[in-house]
Amino acid sequence: MDRWWPEIEAFIATGHSNAESEGINRVIKLVVRAAHGFRNPANQRLRTRCVTTRRARGQVRSAQL
């Protein structure tokens, strides 16, 4: 607890965390593992972008579509 106290205190003071970016990084790593063997790096980038969009993650309401 003592080791992480500055980060915990910053979260309490600001209410901000890096959870969203950590989640996106996790999804990207999963896609890269699943896409092992792609011969075209552009296809791998496209697949990563498609998976990490807000619509694919279910964060867009139907009224916003």
pLDDT at 65: 46
pLDDT tier, 31 (very low <50, low <70, confident <90, very high otherwise): confident
Q: What share of the chain is helix, strand, coil (3-state, %, to 5)?
A: 60, 0, 40
What is the model's pTM? Answer: 0.51
Q: What is the mean pLDDT of residues 52-60?
A: 63
Q: What is the pLDDT of residues 33-46, one digit of tens each?
A: 776 666 777 877 78
Burial (Cβ within 10 Å: 0-12, 13-18, ≥19) of residue 41? exposed
Asked if 35 and 44 count as a contact pair (C-beta separation under 8 A), the reply is yes
Tell me how far CA of residue 38 lies from CA of 22, 46, 57, in angstroms. 24, 12, 23
